[in-house]
Structure 1
Amino acid sequence: MVETTSPTLEKRIKAAVNYLNFYYGGKVHALKDIMMPVYEKQVTALIGPSGCGKTTLLRCFNRMHDLYPGNKYRGEISLEPDGINLLDKKVDPIEVRMRIGMVFQRPNPFPKSIYENVAYGLRVRGENRRRIIDDKVEKALRSAALWDEVKDRLQDLGTNLSGGQQQRLCIARALATEPEIVLFDEPTSALDPIATTSIEELIEELKQQVTILIVTHSMQQAARVSDYTAFMYLGELVEFDKTEMIFNQPSKKQTADYVSGRFG
């Protein structure tokens, strides 16, 4: 059972993970009865040692595991306020990925122009009206704090941008379809300190408009950017609470040892 020591968490729930289990190849039990809320327009950090299930949990939200045969979900992730179970086989995973965007560990712009990178998801959704696409591309690039840097070279290849700019381009690409949740999988691990600071500042701004779930190995980053933190170990959720509680007054010794560097 996950312990929460702080007073009643007053924010509205955007998604609820209920008794979620996940099996790689139907055999490796990677997630075990995970129960966790994700609060609307807040940043939730997933922390824990390598192999604890952070990225596995993150990728359940947008059904990335569906891309590989034999993987199996049990339990549910309910997207609110609709109450849709994102893991239901009747729910189209492509539509799930439109509603829940993802930014990966390393910048991965498509070998297309800056404009087409951002427009990609809109075209997949069937949007062909140039004026609408233009407006949404500009809005997404502005939201990713990249518009002023690229507005005069939208037809240049996205791969020609710097590492930090490429990651912001990927964030713009994720934002273009106006998702309800954006997943960040260690988004700054391949970036220098200056670019990392830029992305962290952007995350702080983005939570005004979208719910964010981030996997990070950096305790300092989790403390800086997140409102809530979940500590995971060996596929289980050990503790979930407001970030300040996790780092200053954790209820579990295992959590205290991890955040203080004494773990193991």
Structure 2
Amino acid sequence: MNNKASGQVGTRPLIGDAPKASVLNLNFHYNTGLHALKNLNMEVPQNRVTALIGPSGCGKSTFLRCFNRMHDLYPGNRYEGEIVLYPDNTNLLSPQVDPIEVRMRIGMVFQKSNPFPKSVFANVAYGLRIRREKDRHLLEEKVERALREAALWNEVKDRLGSLANNLSGGQQQRLCIARALATDPEILLFDEPTSALDPIATASIEELIRQLNAKVTILIVTHNMQQAARLSDFVAYMYMGEIIEFGLTDQVFTTPVKNETQNYITGRFG
């Protein structure tokens, strides 16, 4: 943990580390009329793990999916505010920014593994081919590198042509991580990535996340307080579409500023 930093809510957070992204006055409205996120302000520290915690329905996954414009897939959803990605100061929510390119820069791993009904190789190469990469040697190089980074290469190197669905649950989730890594993302989003896995596979994914944040900034949604404490450097507690408290994980878990945070962490609420 980086003990130099401290978090503030409602202003520009003083996180100490250089930010990879800044969330500025973010609001999100579903096409049903639900105002799901309300004036969020937060910095995402570069090459750190930031956990989003809070009770079900508080807006964690909704917030996460703003980063890679997943909400664009449903007509009528609406963003207000900005998510600025550094160092090029790109507002990811700008209508002038292609959401497909956003998803190349901001990878995502979902709650349940979702390998495509294709070979292991084709799964990992998928994003590269969307980018129209045709050089077979380069594809092979990037696929191998991504599988190594996802700690899966030694298990699948002799069956790259086999269907991805033949892998175990934990292997499929690591394959999805490799698929996200292949396009060299700047931020990697994890939406409860271990909730469907057994303890052994969960430990493997957690160890992988610890290793990955040396090269990529990570945002993770988790309902598991122990997991958030183990994995994250920073944590944001959310409730009813708002960020109640944001700061260093050690600080928030041991001496939270807000009573609402204390009640949630100690199990008196949520």
Report the equivalent of 1:86: 92
Q: Hey, what does 1:135 align to over in structure 2? A: 141
Percent identical among aligned pairs is 67
1:31 equivalent in alignment to 2:31: no
Match of 1:2 in 2: 9
| C-alpha contact 2:15 2:45 (8 A) present in aligned 1 | no
Residue number among 67, 70, 88 corresponding to 1:64 in the alignment: 70
Q: Which residue of 2 aligns with 1:165?
A: 171
Partner-residue secondary structure (3-state), 1:246? helix
Equivalent position to 1:40, from 42, 46, 50: 46
Q: Does 1:222 align with 2:228?
A: yes
**CA distance in structure 1 between the aligned counterparts of 2:32 and 2:103, rounded to whole angstroms:** 23
Q: Which residue of 2 aligns with 1:152?
A: 158
Matches within 5 A, 1:200-211: 200-211=206-217
Residue of structure 1 in register with 2:3 after alignment = none
Q: After TM superposition, which residue ranges in structure 1, 4 or more long, deviate above 6 angstroms?
A: none
Matched residue count: 262
**CA–CA separation in structure 1 for the residues paired with 2:67 and 2:39:** 15
Cα distance in 1 for residues equivalent to 2:96 and 2:194: 35
Say which SS state the counterpart of residue 106 (structure 1) adopts: coil
Structural mapping, 1:174-213, within 5 Å = 174-213=180-219
- The answer to whether structure 1 residue 54 and structure 2 residue 44 are counterparts is no
Is contact 2:256–2:262 with CA below 8 Å preserved after alignment?
A: yes
5+ residue gaps, structure 1, are none
CA distance in 2, matches of 1:170, 1:195: 14
Cα 1:248/1:3, change in 2 over 3 Å? farther
CA distance in structure 1 between the aligned counterparts of 2:10 and 2:194, rounded to whole angstroms:
29
Alpha carbons 2:29, 2:35 under 8 Å: kept: yes
> Which of 230, 241, 244 is equivalent to 1:235?
241
Structure 2 CA distance for aligned equivalents of residues 119 and 81 of structure 1: 27
Among 244, 248, 263, the alignment partner of 2:250 is 244
Q: SS at 1:256's partner residue?
A: helix
Measure, in 1, the Cα distance between the counterparts of 2:79 and 2:15.
28
Measure the CA separation in 2 of the matches of 1:259 and 1:200.
21
Structure 2 unaligned regions, length at least 5 = 1-7
User: CA separation in 1, counterparts of 2:139 and 2:187?
Assistant: 21
How far apart are 1:263 and its partner, in Å? 1.2
Residue 3 of structure 1 deviates from its aligned partner by 6.8
- The Cα offsets for residues 13-38 of structure 1, whole Å up to 9 and x where unpaired, read as 00000000000006110000000100
What is the letter of the counterpart of residue 124 of structure 1? Answer: I
Secondary structure of 1:90's match?
coil
Displacement of 1:211 in angstroms is 0.3
**Separation in structure 2 between the aligned mates of residue 15 and residue 160 of structure 1, nearest angstrom:** 37
| TM-score, L = length of structure 2 | 0.95
The answer to whether structure 1 residue 76 and structure 2 residue 92 are counterparts is no
1:77 and 1:160 mapped to 2: Cα distance? 38
| Whole-Å separation in 2 of the counterparts to 1:13 and 1:154 | 37
Aligned amino acid, residue 182 of structure 2: A
SS at 1:21's partner residue? Answer: strand
Q: Is the 8 A contact 1:105 1:185 kept in 2?
A: yes
How many angstroms does 1:168 deviate by?
0.0
| Separation in structure 2 between the aligned mates of residue 246 and residue 205 of structure 1, nearest angstrom | 23
Residues 10 and 41 of structure 2 are in contact (CA less than 8 Å); yes or no, is this contact kept in structure 1? no
1:9 deviation in Å? Answer: 2.4
Aligned CA-pair RMSD = 1.3
2:126 equivalent in structure 1: 120
- Output the CA distance in 1 between the equivalents of 2:80 and 2:10: 22
Matched with 1:107 is 113
